[in-house]
Every structure is written in structure tokens, then in C-alpha cells.
Amino acid sequence: MDFKNGRSQASLFSETLFAANILGAFSRALCDKIEGAICQETGLSPSACAAIITVGTEPNAPIETLRKMLSLEHSSTVRLLTRLEEQGYLMRERGGGGDRREVRVSLTDAGETVFNTILDARGGVLEAALNPLSDAERQQLTGLVRKLMPKVTEPGDDQHYVCRLCDMEVCPQEMCPVNCAFPEFYDAPITPFRRPRPHAKAG
């Protein structure tokens, strides 16, 4: 088949552009699958799910820290947190660190339940996507992602935004490709992250 300029489709083929194109399609499809799964399981918007995961990962963090991690304006962050508080997923307390002006945010028991629901839904999509690969292929994929991560992540706050839906419990932070991309911006946690476990109701 000839194009108007007389060049054949075969002569225009570029392995590099083809790889880039299918990577873009795959990443978009995977993001859509994840968003669809977490929204269906929770009935919440993607931004609300990201906020719950962010608060659960950084309990009692001040609003300014959460704003940076969610990559939102302060007013948008406050509105989102207010909505989630009204729905019973979050609670806000003043006086963190001895400063009465500072507001810190944490999950309620209901919020912890949704936190785990979101991560389980996301994990199910990702496990299904990796299922066709052998153990060796998964190791190879991990190595390739490590190599590519610095090209799609900016140092600083953007690193937190990239990980806004991550399950920190299964990703040792010293091995995280996002942290390893810019180790000078990485602060090792004092203790490994563990998912919140909602208290069983008596009865």
C-alpha cells in the first residue's frame, strides 16, 4: 500500500516509535482498568480514592503535605477532605505538633475499610495484567521499569504523586523504583508501612 508521498508503510516503520506507541496504549489501558475497578468497588471518584490512600499512607499528616502528595491546590484539597469527612471516611484534628492552627487528617474505621478495598481492587487488576508472565519475565520487567522510572518521574513532590495509589506494604521503600530514581530526595521510614487493620466489631 502506497501513501501519497510514495513511501510504503514498511519503510515508515520504526521499532522505537512502535514500542513507544504500544507502551503508551498499555499504560493508558492499565490506568483506566485500575480507575474503573476502584471506583466500582467504592462508589468514589478517583481523586477521592487517591486521597484516602494518601491519608492512610501518611496518617496524621498536615493538609499541606497531603496537598503536595495529591498535586492539588489548597482549596481543592480542603473541599475534597471535607467531603470525605462528611461521608465518614476521614477525621480532622487541630493542634498537631503543638500548633493549634495546624490540621492533621487520619482515617476513621470506615475509611480504613475503604483504604483496603481500594488497594485490593487495584492489586487485582495489576495481578491479572502480570499473570501471563513467567517469574523470569516479571523480574525482567521490574528491571526495565527501574531503568525507565527516572524518565517519567520528577524529583520531590512528584515522587509522592506517582505513588498516590501504591500499596506501600508490598513495596519496600528502599527498593521502590520511584525512590531509587532520585535517592537524594528519599527519606527512609523509621518502620515499614503496614496497612491499617480495621477493628472487628464486638457482638
In tens, the pLDDT along 171-184 reads 888 888 888 888 77
**8 Å CB contact between 111 and 44:** no
- All 3 cell numbers of residue 123? 492489586
Query: Does the pLDDT of residue 198 top 80, yes or no?
Result: no
Residue pair 146/80 in contact by the 8 Å Cβ criterion: no
User: Nearest-CA neighbor of 189 among 67, 59, 102, 89?
Assistant: 59
Distance of CA 143 to the CA centre of its chain: 20
User: For 36-93, what is each residue's pLDDT tens digit?
Assistant: 999 999 999 999 999 999 999 988 888 988 998 899 999 999 999 999 999 999 999 8
- Give the number of other CB atoms < 10 A from CB of residue 150: 14
Window from 36-45, 112-121, 183-192 with minimum mean pLDDT? 183-192
pLDDT, tens digit, for every residue of 136-178? 999 999 999 999 999 998 887 778 888 889 999 998 888 888 8
Q: What would the DSSP string read from start to end of 110-128?
A: HHHHHHHHHHHHHHHHHHH
Beta-strand pair 61-62/90-94: unpaired
Gap between the Cα atoms of 66 and 74, Å rounded: 9
Give Cβ neighbours of residue 141 (< 8 Å, ≥ 6 apart): 130, 133
Q: In the structure grid, which three cell numbers stand for residue 158, read together?
A: 512528584
